[in-house]
Structure 1
Amino acid sequence: MNQLLSNIPLQISNALGSLPYFVPEVYLAVLFIVVLLTDLFYGRHSAWLCRIIAAGGLLLVLSKDIAQLQLLRFGPRFLFNDMMLLHQSAVSFKMIVDVFAIILIIFFGLDGKLKKHSKGLSDLYTIVVASVLGLHIMIMAVNLLSTYLAIEMVSLASYLLAAYRSENGFSAEAGLKYVLFGAVSSAVMLYGISLIYSLTGSLSYFNGNLIDGLMAANPVMVGMAITLTLVGIGFKLSFVPMHFWVPDVYQGAPTAVTAYLSTLPKIAGFALLINFLTPFVFFAKWSAFDFRLFLSIIGIISMIVGNFAAVWQKNVKRLLGYSSIGHTGFVLMAVATFSQQGISSLLFYLAAYAFANVAALMLASYLEEATGADNVDAYKGLGFKYPVAGVCFVIILISLTGLPVSAGFNGKLLVFSSVYQSYEQNHNVWLLILMITGAITTVVSLFYYLKIPLNMFLRKSESVNPDNIFQSNKALLSISVFLTFMILLIGIFPHFLADLF
């Protein structure tokens, strides 16, 4: 007891010393309270005010993220007794999350189906701000406890967002499926964490006895514990076999929520995966679990399942859902390099993917509200009725496929380059198989991505009502045009984005 009391001043001093490096997260916590109180005081008609406060607050948080780069000029910094680690890659991940959180908050306010919600959207903005705080913690977590708490924080927000339109049966069903799969993956991950703690007596990735304890334990138990722990991370990344929830949830959730689920948790999930892998990869004597083999197999299967399943899809959101599984498998290629170049290419690819994926779902929402079209066959002839949306959609799908000249092409080129460089250094056959699979599945993706422009421009239109366009859709289209411009800009001048990482 006396020893515990003597440690209290040290713990307080450590926490206070960590606060200057935790400023964006403090701002997010304050922003959450402000948005919540705004909703309470102004009622259901405060959605527009909550949206302005949330977007403006996130801009301020983004500026604080940028300011953190100056604090890290002397190197990475452990925070709150080694619960979190702040470094330059973590700041880059947080910047990407905050930029797209702002874009998505605007998207939420323009989504026609969400705007019809009887309770309004004020609660939704509160949930999003809380989820961004959880995403920040996910990105910096280097302790199994902080990892689990961050994942649960983001998961709870995601459940609420997926089922936000509870009056809609399809949306409610999607939310329920998400909750059930999430609860199971959470329980499995918690069991894996408990096994690791029982084997090592430590929860910290970089300090304590975690690596040494696992090296001394039974390899079978170690493999089981690590695999079960990776289940929770895999649920956020939606790689195979933790992908079952993706198609139904992406299709059933409001389109703006689908854009959120397919980008922000995935970006933070990759940062979390890198944090988890780092101590094992750079421990020279580690041999109890082959992470490169594990990631390679998961990446190969995810690319094959995601891309081939997408070929048969008719619903646009479901198609993009399966394609996101394929993109996850492709990004795992960069992670499997275990190199700084791999992390840089991963950051570039995730940003390029987020631009294209959010823009694609915005245009899908725009066309659905304008014409009622929600599947590929219903897009016939829409390219001539809505030429701006049609041309933007083609450019966005070119980027998602990875064709020149687009941000997606540069992203895929950087990933392939990092994997090839790693292969030249160690001649690991799994890296070669990953590159071959990535090239083949990129060709396969042409078959389903190009179905949309094929129907929009090369097939005759059927019965559509082009007059039923909401006023807000013009703003939605304008944002889509801006995102398309960014895709082309990064495709022609990739250094604008690459220099950030």
Structure 2
Amino acid sequence: MHELLPYINQQLTGILGDIKYFIPEIYLSLLFIVVLVTDLLFGRTSEKLCRIVACAGILLVITKDVTQLPLIGDTLQLLFSGMLLQSHTSIIFRLIIDASAFLLLLYFAWDEPLKSHRKKLSDLYAITIAAVFGLHLMTMAANLLSVYLAIEFVSIASYLLVAYRSENAFSTEAGLKYVLFGAAASAIMLYGISLLYGFTGTLNLFDPNFITGLIHVNAAGSTFALVLVLVGIGFKLSFVPIHFWVPDVYEGAPTPVTAFLSTIPKVAAFVLLINFLTPFIISPQWKAFDFGLYLSVIGIITMIAGNFAAVMQNNAKRMLAYSSIGHTGFALMAMITFNGQGIKALEYYLAVYVIANIGALMLVTYFETITGSADVNTYKGLGLKYPAASISFVIILISLTGLPVTAGFTGKVFVFSAVYSVYQANHNVWLLLLTITGAVTTIVSLFYYIKIPLNLFVKRTDSISEPIAQPNYILITSIIISIVLVLLGIFPNWLTQFL
């Protein structure tokens, strides 16, 4: 026992020294407890108070994220004996996650079906805060154990969010499908992790013994293990072929929960994938598994499958679900460059995608309240009755398509530029195929996004009903989002200077 005392003292000293890099996550955990206690103390009357506490707390967490930037600089900092990794890139992505979470916490109370739930929304705010904490851990995971725990943390919170409206059979079915597919993906990933541990004798991705151990293993065995782990990460990213759960779950979940699932877990999963791949990319000895090749193939198939499937959809939520799959494939293009320019392009692209997608789903809620349906054919003739919401919807869809002069166009230009610059250096044919596929699927996306403007402004209906008064919160927020997307498209440096 006595011989362990110096080791224990050393570990405690290391932990205390690392806490300064973990302040935002400590605030998130405290915020979760405060929201939970507020709900317990005030019961059914606590909904508004929990929302105020949650939103104020997230803003405080954002300020703590910002203070981490000068603290970490451009260095990589391993925390808690290599369990977590702090870097400038992970902080930027956490800022995107937290800013989006703030917007979603506001949005939850604007959805009437969700707001009318008999349990109210206090529990929903606590679950969302817990999910954000898990997303923070995903962006920092540098050990296979922390990778698994972070993904499970987010998955459990996501299952609860999807099935929150338990009295709704469609929502319950979506939650059950999500749990079953998620459990299968987790089991597969855990098997892959166990194989990697057996091959290397370590769970630390940045331990030199990790890559060295895999190099001395049969290439087929290491490839099999890595593919199994990528299945678990791919489940969160929803790239092909682990995408089949997305349309049903997105359609069955409450629309604000769909906005959550389609945005910030993807952001965290991309950072997790970057952390997972970094030891392999920086190791000159690693040759067994060509991540660039396999991810290029996945990116091409994902872009094609997502965008062409979206063309056949008339339900706005299913259409946006398939389009999110296509966006995942496009974002993979930036990551496959494996350089700083590609990561910066990915940061910008995901930031504007998250804003636009949340705005689009907010307007789906807005028009669903009017028509009682998420079918785009029910939007006929509503453009002139609700001009502000309709114009905002068009601008947001233009950004999602990637047309000038919106931020979505600038984001796609950044991604194409990053990929093409690497192609010029090594003339990798897969990068050329990615670029061509990205351009073609961008054109294809216009065919399904344009359905909504066509129904709003071009097609007419026999109905002569008067406009229905709507709450102004969604309308004002969607207008602000559309203006931000245009301004960031014209002045991208307003955002890129912080990335």
Match of 1:320 in 2: 320
Measure how far apart 1:113 and its partner are.
0.9
TM-score (norm 2): 0.98
Name the aligned partner's letter for residue 125 of structure 2.
Y
Structure 1 CA distance, aligned partners of 2:354 and 2:464? 30
Identity of aligned residues (%): 59
Match of 2:489 in 1: 491
1:331-410 correspondence to structure 2 within 5 Å: 331-410=331-410
- Residues 1:462 and 1:13: Cα distance change in structure 2 (over 3 Å): farther
Give the SS at the match of 1:22: helix
Name the aligned partner's letter for residue 302 of structure 2.
S
1:137-152 correspondence to structure 2 within 5 Å: 137-152=137-152
TM-score (norm 1): 0.98
Q: 2:371, 2:379 within 8 Å by CA — same for their partners in 1? A: no
- Residues 1:462 and 1:27: Cα distance change in structure 2 (over 3 Å): farther
Measure how far apart 1:205 and its partner are.
1.1
- Residues 1:456 and 1:282: Cα distance change in structure 2 (over 3 Å): same
Deviations 1:195-253 (A, max 9, x none): 00000001111124110000000100000000000011000000001101100011000
Q: Does 1:430 align with 2:430?
A: yes
1:411-490 correspondence to structure 2 within 5 Å: 411-463=411-463, 466-470=466-470, 473-490=471-488
Structure 2 CA distance, aligned partners of 1:74 and 1:334? 20
Structure 1 CA distance, aligned partners of 2:465 and 2:298? 44
Q: 2:197, 2:203 within 8 Å by CA — same for their partners in 1? A: yes
Structure 1 CA distance, aligned partners of 2:449 and 2:455? 11
Name the aligned partner's letter for residue 287 of structure 2.
S
Give the SS at the match of 1:85: strand
Name the aligned partner's letter for residue 378 of structure 1.
T
Deviations 1:381-406 (A, max 9, x none): 11111100110011001000000000
Measure how far apart 1:500 and its partner are.
1.2
Match of 2:192 in 1: 192
Q: 2:74, 2:88 within 8 Å by CA — same for their partners in 1? A: no
Measure how far apart 1:485 and its partner are.
1.1
Structure 1 CA distance, aligned partners of 2:74 and 2:355? 32
Name the aligned partner's letter for residue 423 of structure 2.
Y
Structure 2 CA distance, aligned partners of 1:392 and 1:296? 34
Deviations 1:435-473 (A, max 9, x none): 010011001001000011011100002548555445xx3
Range that drifts further, 80-89 or 65-74: 65-74
Structure 2 CA distance, aligned partners of 1:124 and 1:64? 24
Q: 1:314, 1:377 within 8 Å by CA — same for their partners in 2? A: yes
Structure 2 CA distance, aligned partners of 1:336 and 1:291? 8
Match of 1:255 in 2: 255
Deviations 1:22-46 (A, max 9, x none): 0000000000000000000000221
Give the SS at the match of 1:357: helix
Structure 2 CA distance, aligned partners of 1:190 and 1:463? 55
Measure how far apart 1:12 and its partner are.
1.1
Name the aligned partner's letter for residue 97 of structure 1.
I
- Residues 1:3 and 1:241: Cα distance change in structure 2 (over 3 Å): farther
- Residues 1:5 and 1:231: Cα distance change in structure 2 (over 3 Å): farther
Deviations 1:300-346 (A, max 9, x none): 00000000000000100000000000000000000110111000000
Name the aligned partner's letter for residue 498 of structure 2.
L
Q: 2:386, 2:467 within 8 Å by CA — same for their partners in 1? A: no
- Structure 1's unaligned 5+ residue stretches are none
Name the aligned partner's letter for residue 311 of structure 1.
V
Structure 2 CA distance, aligned partners of 1:467 and 1:491? 32
Structure 2 CA distance, aligned partners of 1:76 and 1:323? 34
Structure 1 CA distance, aligned partners of 2:74 and 2:268? 24
Structure 2 CA distance, aligned partners of 1:352 and 1:90? 17
Name the aligned partner's letter for residue 477 of structure 1.
L
Match of 2:173 in 1: 173
Q: 2:74, 2:87 within 8 Å by CA — same for their partners in 1? A: no
Match of 1:119 in 2: 119
Match of 2:234 in 1: 234
Range that drifts further, 454-463 or 219-228: 454-463
Name the aligned partner's letter for residue 492 of structure 1.
I
Q: 2:144, 2:204 within 8 Å by CA — same for their partners in 1? A: yes
Deviations 1:171-218 (A, max 9, x none): 000000000000000000000000000000011111241100000001
Give the SS at the match of 2:109: helix
Give the SS at the match of 2:73: helix
Structure 2 CA distance, aligned partners of 1:360 and 1:14? 45
Structure 2 CA distance, aligned partners of 1:267 and 1:363? 22
Q: Does 1:78 align with 2:42?
A: no
Name the aligned partner's letter for residue 65 of structure 1.
D
Measure how far apart 1:367 and its partner are.
0.7
Measure how far apart 1:76 and its partner are.
2.2
Structure 2 CA distance, aligned partners of 1:315 and 1:254? 14
Measure how far apart 1:75 and its partner are.
2.1
Structure 2 CA distance, aligned partners of 1:143 and 1:4? 24
Structure 2 CA distance, aligned partners of 1:466 and 1:205? 61
- Residues 1:81 and 1:459: Cα distance change in structure 2 (over 3 Å): same
Deviations 1:130-174 (A, max 9, x none): 110000010011110001000000000000000000100000000
Name the aligned partner's letter for residue 437 of structure 1.
T
Match of 1:500 in 2: 498
Measure how far apart 1:3 and its partner are.
5.3
Q: 1:370, 1:466 within 8 Å by CA — same for their partners in 2? A: no
- Residues 1:290 and 1:462: Cα distance change in structure 2 (over 3 Å): farther
Measure how far apart 1:73 and its partner are.
2.9
1:200-211 correspondence to structure 2 within 5 Å: 200-211=200-211
Q: 1:371, 1:465 within 8 Å by CA — same for their partners in 2? A: no
Measure how far apart 1:374 and its partner are.
1.1
Match of 1:14 in 2: 14
1:70-109 correspondence to structure 2 within 5 Å: 70-73=70-73, 75-109=75-109
Name the aligned partner's letter for residue 329 of structure 1.
G
Measure how far apart 1:275 and its partner are.
0.4
Structure 1 CA distance, aligned partners of 2:394 and 2:467? 23
Structure 2 CA distance, aligned partners of 1:189 and 1:425? 35
- Residues 1:276 and 1:74: Cα distance change in structure 2 (over 3 Å): closer
Structure 1 CA distance, aligned partners of 2:4 and 2:222? 31
- Residues 1:74 and 1:261: Cα distance change in structure 2 (over 3 Å): closer
- Structure 2's unaligned 5+ residue stretches are none
RMSD: 1.1
Name the aligned partner's letter for residue 474 of structure 2.
L
Give the SS at the match of 1:78: strand
